[in-house]
Amino acid sequence: MSFWPIAVLELYPVFSWLHDLLASIGLPSAWLQPLIYLLLGAMIFGILSLIALFLVWWERKIAAHIQQRFGPMRHGWHGWYQTIMDAVKLLQKEDIRVVTRDKVVFFWAPVICFVAAFLAYVVMPWGDGLIVADLNIGILYILAVTTFTVISLLMAGWGSNNKYALLGGMRSAAQVVSYEVPMVVSILTVIIFVGSLSMVDIVKSQSGLLFNWYIFRFPFGPIAFITYLIAATAEVNRTPFDIPEAEQELVSGYNVEYSGMKFAMFFLAEFVNMFTVSAIAATLFLGGWNGWEFIPSWIWFLFKTLLIVLLLMLFRWTYPRLRVDQLMEFAWKFLIPVTFANLIVAGIFKYLGWYW
């Protein structure tokens, strides 16, 4: 029944304890593995929800400090549980449904968005041995499941039956499809050197400190990192590439008609997606869990990921938004040629063996 091996080496004692516990209360053995998978899923879901709540708070604080404000201050120390209160408020709010909506599409859009955001964590290496399933298609799997985010945005745009929402959905589709190409090509630049798509293999190939990481593999490493970061910013629809929800033009884009719980799902998924692309960048370019041995590997992973999240947040609050045509021109006329040239250079270096 094992489609893929479960590679939770460090968590193994916990799981065997759980397994024994569940077996001792008389559950049939056929149920045990699915149950453990379920628990694992719930665990990752909980951790990610906490991270997303933290990121919302963090973003508000950073935005406030950049703009010489304090941001949330009332709830706890520097308002640390502000977002928790916000979430509770959102869950209690009335679920406003537009009469002219497309019922089924309107309902499923936030659900698909929410699920798609979490699917990537099946193969995310949180630390040495902390991975749910080390698929041999790892990174490709992430790229595949994240495409559902776009579909959910399109569904939200269509289902709302609102011109702003529709425009937002269409813009996001155009943007994501365009920026997916440079993103994938930047990732391929790393894959050339790893020789495997598995996330664990990618991290293991950069074991050691600083100069074993792909960001420091000159000259193509830093270029690939920068192009990936730009494309990833566009993929998660953040400023300077946030035209799908440009407040001044589109009110707030695809989610303008959503409220309450459904809006919360979009909002949460957005931050989870930001964390996902940062985690991919940390895994691919910053050596994932690698670092000094005396610090646990998962702290390294979180630290590097949050560093890139910080970078994305700084982008958001310091750069102006691009216009639609500038955005497309930048992707097709600059980013794609650069990433392809970079890929070719990387291929030549690999062929000649000019790397360490």
Partner 1 sequence: MTESADIGIVFWVLSFVILVSAFMVVSLKNIFHCALFLIMCLFSVAGIFVLLDAEFLAAAQVLIYVGAVAILMIFAIMLTSNLASRKIRQVNENVSVGVFVSVLFALASIILIAQTHIWHYKTDFTPVENSIVILGKYLMIQYVLPFEVVSILLLASLIGAIVLARKERS
Work out whether 119 is an interface residue with partner 1 (CB under 8 A). Answer: no
Q: Which is nearer to partner 1, 147 or 318 (CB)?
A: 147
CA 315 to mean position of chain CA atoms:
16
Q: Which tokens hold the place of 206?
A: 């950069």
Q: Which DSSP category does 72 fall into?
A: -
Cis peptide before 182 (omega within 30 of 0): no
204's CB contacts (< 8 A; 6+ apart) are none
Work out whether 254 is an interface residue with partner 1 (CB under 8 A). Answer: no
Minimum distance from CB of 246 to partner 1 (Å)? 18
Work out whether 117 is an interface residue with partner 1 (CB under 8 A). Answer: no
Minimum distance from CB of 158 to partner 1 (Å)? 6
From candidates 50, 73, 177, 307, binder to partner 1 by CB under 8 A: 177
Work out whether 148 is an interface residue with partner 1 (CB under 8 A). Answer: yes
Work out whether 180 is an interface residue with partner 1 (CB under 8 A). Answer: yes
Minimum distance from CB of 308 to partner 1 (Å)? 23
Q: Count other C-beta atoms under 10 Å from residue 63's C-beta.
A: 14
From candidates 55, 120, 165, 166, binder to partner 1 by CB under 8 A: 166
Helix segments in the chain, DSSP class H: 12-24, 29-66, 82-92, 103-119, 138-159, 163-194, 199-204, 220-235, 247-250, 260-285, 297-318, 324-329, 336-352
Work out whether 137 is an interface residue with partner 1 (CB under 8 A). Answer: yes
Q: Which is nearer to partner 1, 83 or 237 (CB)?
A: 237
From candidates 53, 183, 188, 197, binder to partner 1 by CB under 8 A: 197
Closest Cα partner for 131 from 195, 194, 199, 187?
199
Q: Which is nearer to partner 1, 9 or 144 (CB)?
A: 144
Q: Which is nearer to partner 1, 183 or 265 (CB)?
A: 183
Q: Which tokens hold the place of 243?
A: 């035209």
Closest Cα partner for 198 from 1, 4, 3, 340?
4
Q: Which is nearer to partner 1, 169 or 291 (CB)?
A: 169
Residue whose pair of structure tokens reads 């509770």 in the numeric block: 88
CB 232 within 8 A of CB 285: no
Q: Count other C-beta atoms under 10 Å from residue 109's C-beta.
A: 29
Minimum distance from CB of 327 to partner 1 (Å)? 15
Q: Which is nearer to partner 1, 165 or 269 (CB)?
A: 165
Work out whether 144 is an interface residue with partner 1 (CB under 8 A). Answer: yes
Query: Site residues for partner 1, window 274-303 (CB under 8 A)?
Result: none
CB 48 within 8 A of CB 279: no
Minimum distance from CB of 154 to partner 1 (Å)? 5
- Return left, alpha or beta for 208; rule: phi > 0 is left, psi -120 to 50 is alpha, else beta: left
Work out whether 147 is an interface residue with partner 1 (CB under 8 A). Answer: yes
Residue whose pair of structure tokens reads 């990732």 in the numeric block: 187
Q: Which is nearer to partner 1, 172 or 283 (CB)?
A: 172
Q: Which is nearer to partner 1, 11 or 143 (CB)?
A: 143
CB 125 within 8 A of CB 203: yes
Work out whether 38 is an interface residue with partner 1 (CB under 8 A). Answer: no
Q: Which tokens hold the place of 278?
A: 């940062």
Site string (72-111) toward partner 1, x via CB under 8 A: ------------------------------x-xx------
Q: Which residues sit at the interface with partner 1, rule CB under 8 A?
A: 1, 3, 30, 102, 104-105, 135-137, 140-141, 143-145, 147-148, 150-151, 154-155, 157-158, 166, 169-170, 173-174, 176-177, 180, 196-197
